[in-house]
Amino acid sequence: MAVSDRSTKLPRRRSPSTPRRAAASSLNPLLSSWTGPFSLPPFEKIDAKHFKPALDAAFKAHKSEIEKIAANTAKPTFANTVIALEKSGTLLARVASVFSNLESTDSTDELQDIARDVAPKFAAHECMILLDKRLFARIDDLYGRRDALNLRPEDLRVLERHHLGFVRAGARLSAAQKSRVKEINARLATLVTQFMQNVLKDEQSWRMVLDVDQDLAGLPETMRASAIRAAADAGLPGKAMITLARSSVEGFLTYSSRRDLREQAFKAWIARGANGGDTDNRQIIAEVVALRDESARLLGYKSFADFSLQDTMAKTPIAVSELLQAVWPKAVQRAAAERDALAAEARLQGGNFAIEPWDWRYFSEKVRKTQFDIDEAELRAYLPLDNMIAAAFDCATRLFGLTFHERDDLPRYHADVRTWEVSDASGGHVGIFYGDYFARSSKRSGAWMSSFRDQHNIGKGANPVIINVLNFARGADGEATLLSFDDARTLFHEFGHGLHGLLSNVTYPSISGTAVSRDFVELPSQLYEHWLSTPDVMQKYAVHYRTGEPMPAVLHGKLNAARSFNQGFATVEYTASALVDMALYTGEIARVVDIEAFERETLAEIGMPSEIVMRHRLPHFMHIIGGYAAGYYSYLWSEVMDADAFAAFEETGDVFDPAMAKKLKQFSYSAGNTRDPHDAYVAFRGRPPNIDGLLKKRGLAA
């Protein structure tokens, strides 16, 4: 997930073209039956005012369902306990999924107020379930008799996962300890919600307004047009504007020849969450870390990292450290050589200064052009958004037999959103896929996959409704939206997550799709990136947005040759973030009181190059405040597997090999959490992964 100067507050109004409006009916559409096509949410009827009463009703309904299971006097069985739990909470899941997706993609002040109000309620509701001693007694009884129950492998897996979830939540704690766990979880829910909203507000409140004639020096024509459009959309005709959407600010840092403006933009980008006032996240982080540490120690762990990692492939902080330390010194060495090349390029251009963080992307692009004769602006012309979407779909067709039919008639929550019906090779309905591709002020920055409905096969079952959210800078009116190669790779990455949800074929909702360990969930997404740069895909879809001519073979060859270019920088900014994350959740909590001092001291200890800033500084590091706490390493852990897994396809001589694709679908994309992730990988590959492919891929091999 990826997740803009605070000089002027941007209005946060919904686009006037959005189809969503207040309901005329007094009935709450969130609580009514959804009778439209594919039982999709009736977005045009849903208004913010509907969420509080709908959530209250859904909490009440789920609580009643749980009470019935817990109070059952019959002997615990898999059916009356585990299956009953899996069937419960349907209404709450439905309402919560709509709310969480809208609050992150098309937010308003009202939705953010509701989010702050309901976050501790969700935490309390979860505690109510997982700390219920009657419910745990039933689960524990079944778990103790599991070998005698003659369960199917998937049934046994879901029983084990439920039991582990109860234990890790504190089901075995004393009454006093449970009470404290409830307090901690409620406070954490509030803090995490506030943290995320603060980052969004800081991004929304900054913009750099530029004079078209003087301030756009160096920007390619398409980027100039996007900046001019952004200003026009903000009510500033005749100007240009850079925001803190990643595609906007990173593009500016890459091309702008105005070093003074690059510095302004970069400092605003890294200062999100640390600007003082109501949106400052530094004290929030310190409290979050302290509370998580306390919770882990209540559960018998020596640190939150030990607790967090126990239910992952890595298992321990030592295993994570070994991986990160195998990469870190090689990355630092490579980055030093890259820095020297940038400094030489700067001197050639008359720059008598040391390379600073806001210089790196700019001079890196100059060096890449010199070394490989690649012009990023030229490359973008062959990567229009529509073609990259089609390419991602086509790879899914060739690998898994899926087809995508765009449906303009289906309900959407915003006019920017596109919707596809997904079918299998026999024409059967698989699910619905939403694509929300453009940056806007009401959307959280970054890129992610989510769902409005998860797949399961209980009863009549449910087909998935999956969404990919990205933040590309829209092209000028009437012009194509052109992507950088990194943008295109991000699109493939998130679509890999999307396929993980769409192809899921499991019985139980709790283990569906992406509900797998953190350091396995990135395998389907990172692996899918590999198909983007294959010759077949590039030749067919990397075509010039104006002429329709395919990317010249020479340019594609240059792109491949430059594949590991600047990987020292990329690996350092990522690995530094992962190392700081682990230090944050394994070290002495007293050190975390001053979060900026902690960050500065930790980076000094690992030998962070001064010319590079960690990819996500702590005040806006949403991953590790959210679901990736003590888990940012997982992208690298999964990269070991994705490099090794794609090599399995290459070894067949056909990167779309049907037999290998069938195994990949069986043991990864469709399997959910039906088996241990290490066992799942070995079942696909025939052996555990090794790190050699990762080092080669990043150009760090000896």
Task: Classify residue 533 by its DSSP letter.
Answer: G
Same structural domain for residues 399 and 505? Answer: yes
Same structural domain for residues 502 and 364? Answer: no
Specify the number of domains making up the chain.
4
Cα-only R_g, the chain: 25
Please list, in sequence order, all residues whose beta carbon lies within 8 angstroms of the beta carbon of residue 140, skipping any fewer than 6 positions away. 163, 166, 171
Residue 76 lies in a domain: yes
CA angle, corner 363, sides to 1 and 609, nearest 5? 65
**3-state SS, residue 637:** helix
Q: How high is the pLDDT of residue 5?
A: 29
Same structural domain for residues 412 and 541? Answer: yes
pLDDT average per 10 residues of sequence, the chain (702 residues): 29 34 64 96 97 98 98 98 98 98 96 97 98 98 98 98 98 98 98 96 95 91 92 94 92 96 98 96 97 97 97 96 96 97 96 96 95 89 97 98 98 97 98 96 92 97 98 90 95 98 98 96 97 96 96 92 94 98 92 94 98 97 95 96 96 98 98 97 95 88 73
Residue 700 lies in a domain: no
Distances (CA, A) of 671 to 498, 527, 636: 14, 16, 22
Residue 548 lies in a domain: yes
Strands 429-438 and 465-472: parallel
Element (H, E) at 422: strand 418-423
Positions marked catalytic: 494
CA dist 491 and 597 (Å) reads: 36
Tell me how far the alpha carbon of residue 187 is from its chain's centroid: 24
CA dist 375 and 239 (Å) reads: 26
Distances (CA, A) of 417 to 239, 330, 383, 413, 634: 27, 42, 20, 7, 30
Among 138, 228, 670, 215, CA closest to 479:
228
- C-alpha neighbours within 13 Å on the C-beta side of residue 351: 19
Same structural domain for residues 322 and 430? Answer: no
Domain end (from 530, 561, 592):
561
Domain end (from 542, 561, 580):
561
Please list, in sequence order, all residues whose beta carbon lies within 8 angstroms of the beta carbon of residue 316, skipping any fewer than 6 positions away. 306, 309, 310
Same structural domain for residues 509 and 411? Answer: yes
Same structural domain for residues 231 and 310? Answer: no
Does the global pTM surpass 0.95?
no
Same structural domain for residues 409 and 503? Answer: yes
CA dist 467 and 294 (Å) reads: 35
Residue 690 lies in a domain: no
- Domain range enclosing 295: 278-374+566-632
Instruction: For residue 580, give the CATH number of its domain.
Output: 1.10.1370.10
Instruction: For residue 500, give the CATH number of its domain.
Output: 1.10.1370.40
**3-state SS, residue 594:** coil
Among 439, 436, 435, CA closest to 472:
439
Among 414, 455, 398, CA closest to 432:
455
Residue 354 lies in a domain: yes
Instruction: For residue 144, give the CATH number of its domain.
Output: 1.20.1050.40
Element (H, E) at 451: strand 448-453
Same structural domain for residues 401 and 524? Answer: yes
Same structural domain for residues 541 and 413? Answer: yes
Residue 21 lies in a domain: no
Residue 70 lies in a domain: yes
Neighbours of 210 (CB within 10 A): 23
Same structural domain for residues 589 and 503? Answer: no
Residue type, 498: G
Domain end (from 224, 256, 271):
271
Across the strands, what pairs with 462? Answer: 456
**379, 484 contact by CB (below 8 A):** yes
**179, 124 contact by CB (below 8 A):** no
Same structural domain for residues 245 and 298? Answer: no
Residue 294 lies in a domain: yes
Same structural domain for residues 73 and 141? Answer: yes
Please list, in sequence order, all residues whose beta carbon lies within 8 angstroms of the beta carbon of residue 553, skipping any fewer than 6 positions away. none
